[in-house]
Amino acid sequence: MKHIPILLSAVVALSGCLSPVGDFRETVAASKRAVFPSLVYIRVVAEGSNGGKFEKMQASGSGVLVSEDGELLTNHHVVDRATRIRCQLTDGSSYDAKVIGKDKDLDVALLKLEAPEGTRFPAARLSERHLDIGEVVLAMGAPWGLARSVSMGIVSCNDRYLEDCGDYTLWYQTDAAISPGNSGGPLVDTHGEVVGLNARGNTQGAQGFTIPSPIVREVLPNLRTYGNAHWAWFGIDWQPLRDFEKDTAFAATEGVIVAGTDPQGPARAAGLEPNDRVTAIDGVSVTAIFREDIPALNRALALRPWDKAVRFDYVRNGVSASVTVTPQSKGDVEGKEVECKRWGFTAKEINRFDTPDLAFFAPEGGVFVSSVSWDGNADNAGMKAKDIVRKIGGKDVKDAAGLQALYDEALKNLDAVTQVGVDVLRKGKNVHLILNYRQDLDKED
């Protein structure tokens, strides 16, 4: 036991609070008291596709109140496809909530409690500062569906890059326990402010990852105004000058490399090419030495106004040049999904961000089979997941609404027609199928 005061003193020093152990304990307790009343336990009923049909499922997560009129923040994945959202506060009161805005890329959602007009709630403050490594933090939330939980740890990394986990943010890494159900809950510093939204953890809770609050603050106005992050899209992938993981390095010390451009994107249309080294954007020098520098660049570009041209200065084969690129709305990053229950499959719109492999074969868009009911009508016809549906009964299928209309029409004519031809594109090859839906196999089960 004689070593415990030494360890606690070390933690205090790391937190920036050089004070006796008793004072540190009070600091932690005060931080907890400042935010804990704003903690929200969230239960959702969501709808998802599985086995060729839509199914209801229940899940839980966490959130934090950020305004006295009942606005709260959580993760996008907590409320994704939710048909009902219920929230319980730490005082035991409960309310339904509606989605005001959400963004899948940043994994942030803004909700509003449906409370009687004039109801006031305890709101936490979103910090504007960036944390240092070693700062003491509290992770609050509802791990494993158990409401009102607090764990403590330190920030073990304040600029963690997670590949394919957010193009627009670096993460705080912490050893404060973040388990399933903690998603959307606040990470709190010793000043009693929310410094981030907990988003990723593991079953052991050993290392968790948090979206820094300054980044959340940047998109919060857009979530309120537009219902989404309102990202501008240039269609550019970047590569840093030094990438240890990929064992690549460029001789230059300034700029950032164009790794690729989207075939349908504004950058390619304007003339930017892979391996171009961009040195300035609208006259402001830009450099990305390491991959940790990329998310800030992506975010700065994405928060620019739509339809306003941006000048890129670049070097290609040793020759300097410039080009103007006018961004467009990024739009939805996931397509709409429909259920064709009698036919035995669900289908989803192709989206260049969500399904780039399918967008390669169908750059103009369309729909693909997202799930097939085992031994159902579609399965018996030979339909497979990821088939791109081109035509049904000789009629083009261009989007989810069009497919829904064809399906509804088929159900109205069951007495006359129970078979239809389906043209699909499978791994680049055209396949014609005959879908017989005379039997309602789902009902027979």
| Angle made by CA atoms 27, 29, 31, in degrees to the nearest 5 | 70
The CATH number for 145's domain is 2.40.10.10
pLDDT at 17: 43
Assess if residue 391 is contained within a domain: yes
**What is d(CA 378, CA 404) in angstroms, rounded to the nearest whole number?**
16
Tokens, residue 133 = 């490594």
- Of the three residues 89, 113, 137, the one that is the final residue of a domain is 113
Query: In sequence order, what are the beta bridge partners of 171?
Result: 160
Assess if residue 365 is contained within a domain: yes
Distances (CA, A) of 436 to 51, 234, 267, 332, 379: 18, 44, 46, 34, 10
Terminal CA-CA length for the chain: 64
**What is d(CA 330, CA 219) in angstroms, rounded to the nearest whole number?**
14
pLDDT at 101: 97
**What is d(CA 131, CA 193) in angstroms, rounded to the nearest whole number?**
11
Domain region containing 75: 37-113
Assess if residue 3 is contained within a domain: no
Tokens, residue 78 = 């907590």
Tokens, residue 9 = 């003193």
Q: Are residues 263 and 221 in the same domain?
A: no
- Of the three residues 60, 82, 113, the one that is the final residue of a domain is 113
Assess if residue 198 is contained within a domain: yes
Residue 364's contacts (CB-CB under 8 Å, 6 or more residues apart) are none
Q: Are residues 379 and 312 in the same domain?
A: no
Tokens, residue 230 = 């309102």
pLDDT at 206: 73
Q: Are residues 284 and 351 in the same domain?
A: no
Assess if residue 19 is contained within a domain: no
Assess if residue 9 is contained within a domain: no
Q: Are residues 84 and 172 in the same domain?
A: no
**Amino acid at residue number 86:** R
Catalytic positions = 77, 107, 183
Query: Which residue carries 């009687």 as its tokens?
Result: 116
- HSE, CB side, 13 Å, CA atoms: give it for residue 344: 24
Assess if residue 2 is contained within a domain: no
The CATH number for 290's domain is 2.30.42.10
- Of the three residues 296, 329, 362, the one that is the final residue of a domain is 329
Q: Are residues 438 and 342 in the same domain?
A: yes
Tokens, residue 129 = 């500062």
* pLDDT of the chain, 445 residues: tens digit per residue: 334 333 333 333 344 444 455 688 898 899 999 999 999 999 999 998 989 999 999 999 999 999 999 999 999 999 999 999 999 999 999 999 999 999 999 999 999 999 999 999 999 999 999 999 999 999 999 999 888 899 999 999 999 999 888 799 999 999 999 999 999 999 999 999 999 999 998 766 578 999 999 999 999 999 999 999 999 999 999 999 999 988 999 999 999 999 999 998 999 999 999 999 999 999 999 999 999 999 999 999 999 998 899 999 999 999 999 999 999 999 999 999 999 999 999 999 999 999 999 999 999 999 999 999 999 999 999 999 999 999 999 999 999 999 999 999 999 999 999 999 999 999 999 999 999 999 887 675 5
Number of structural domains in the chain: 4
Q: Are residues 92 and 157 in the same domain?
A: no
Q: Are residues 209 and 273 in the same domain?
A: no
Query: In sequence order, what are the beta bridge partners of 209?
Result: 173, 200
